[in-house]
């Protein structure tokens, strides 16, 4: 299944499901949505876009009800899922698991109860549980970034890498990036986890600056980390020595790219509005009796000065 913007899906849901909606509207459906509590910018965006989607769909379809819950950890998220099934009697679950390994058993219980399950972003440790999987292209994020680095450093150079968390999607990104720069003169001086966190990005970059006197470029993998990196570079007075590439399409970073920043020349999309796409597709299953099961991988696109406007979403906290 190819990438469809959630705005396009919204139009389809509002205007294009009349053929299948007459019989569907005879029954009310409840869809549970479970996402992590905002602990950094990207998850803050997830909550924002989830709330937008819920409000839009409830307004358009009176026969759709939603239960939206945010959870700070796996224990709370598992409890939310149990409540959605036993108390709220949901017909479907849309879930972005905070810790996919810890949440796999709880999500399987929802599926075993006969509910539709849509999983977002973080793959479960057991295959075949979910009906629909919606995610960004994690290997593509690494590969797209590597392609840019090769073009921007044709004669090679010294770079450092700030990774996310030690979970599968980070490994997919990192491995694809390393494969993409293999055979070039680009040298990775160091790589450390920065936990998709601004403060950790700041601390890790401070360490890199102390250890390495010549750095030509930085890959942050994530725009929250990038904000911390920029702070470290500014305080060290080394802003003009290197350029930085993050990832995800944070509004602040997209605006820098659009303005032609030399320090942040590009970004790579991995937008949290994938949660809205997942909710829209799940709703489409009920209101239009549409077949939406399968896997949808949303492209990780290089964001440049020329196309940045396409990725500038209004009013988003991310």
Supply the mean pLDDT for the chain: 91
Strand 217-219 and strand 132-136: pairing? Answer: unpaired
DSSP 170-193: HHHHHHHHHHHHTTSSEEEEEEEE
Q: Decide yes or no: CATH 3.40.50.10380 for domain 138-268.
A: no
Q: Is the pTM of this model over 0.85?
A: no
Matching residue, tokens 């026969």:
63
pLDDT tens for residues 159-213? 999 999 888 889 999 999 999 999 999 999 999 999 989 999 999 999 999 999 9
pLDDT at site 21 = 44
Domain 6-136+271-299: give its CATH code.
3.40.50.2300
The pLDDT value recorded for residue 315 is 78
H helices of 73-187, in order, are: 74-86, 100-112, 138-152, 168-181
Domain pair 6-136+271-299 / 138-268, same fold: yes
Instruction: Return the structure tokens found at 166.
Output: 């030690």
Mean pLDDT, residues 235-243: 97
How many CB atoms are located within 10 Å of the residue 18 CB? 9
Q: Which residues pair with 302 in a beta bridge?
A: 268
**What is the per-residue pLDDT across 82-117, written as a single tens digit (0 to 9) for each?**
999 999 999 999 999 999 999 999 999 999 999 999
- Give the other-Cβ count within 10 Å of 49's Cβ: 25
Q: Residue 181: how many CB atoms within 10 A of its CB?
A: 21
CA-based torsion, 230, 233, 239, 241: positive or negative: negative
Residue ranges of domains in the chain: 6-136+271-299, 138-268
């Amino acid at each position: 299944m190819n990438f469809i913007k959630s705005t396009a899906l919204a139009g389809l849901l509002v205007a294009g499901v009349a053929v299948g909606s007459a019989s569907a509207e005879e029954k009310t459906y409840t869809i549970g949505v479970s996402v992590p509590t905002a602990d950094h910018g990207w998850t803050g965006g997830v909550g924002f876009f989830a709330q937008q989607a819920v409000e839009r769909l409830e307004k358009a379809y009176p026969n759709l009800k939603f239960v939206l819950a945010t959870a700070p950890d796996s224990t709370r998220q598992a409890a939310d899922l149990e409540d959605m099934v036993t108390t709220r009697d949901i017909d479907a679950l849309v879930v972005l698991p905070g810790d996919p390994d810890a949440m796999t058993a709880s999500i399987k219980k929802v599926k075993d109860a006969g509910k539709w399950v849509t999983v977002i972003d973080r793959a479960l440790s057991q295959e075949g549980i979910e009906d629909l999987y919606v995610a960004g292209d994690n290997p593509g994020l690494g590969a797209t970034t590597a392609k840019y680095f090769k073009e921007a450093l044709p004669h090679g150079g010294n770079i450092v890498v700030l990774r996310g968390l030690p979970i599968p999607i980070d490994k997919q990104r990192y491995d694809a990036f390393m494969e993409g720069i293999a055979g070039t003169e680009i040298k990775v001086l160091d790589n450390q986890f920065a936990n998709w966190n601004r403060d950790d990005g700041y601390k890790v970059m401070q360490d890199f600056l102390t250890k390495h006197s010549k750095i030509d470029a930085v890959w942050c993998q994530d725009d929250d980390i990038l904000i911390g990196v920029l702070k470290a570079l500014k305080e060290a007075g080394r802003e003009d020595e290197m350029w930085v590439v993050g990832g995800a399409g944070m509004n602040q970073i997209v605006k820098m790219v659009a303005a032609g920043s030399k320090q942040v020349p590009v970004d790579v999309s991995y937008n949290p509005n994938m949660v809205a796409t997942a909710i829209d597709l799940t709703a489409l299953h009920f209101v239009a009796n549409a077949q939406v099961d399968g896997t949808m991988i949303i492209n990780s696109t290089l964001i440049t000065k020329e196309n940045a406007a396409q990725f500038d979403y209004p009013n988003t906290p991310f």
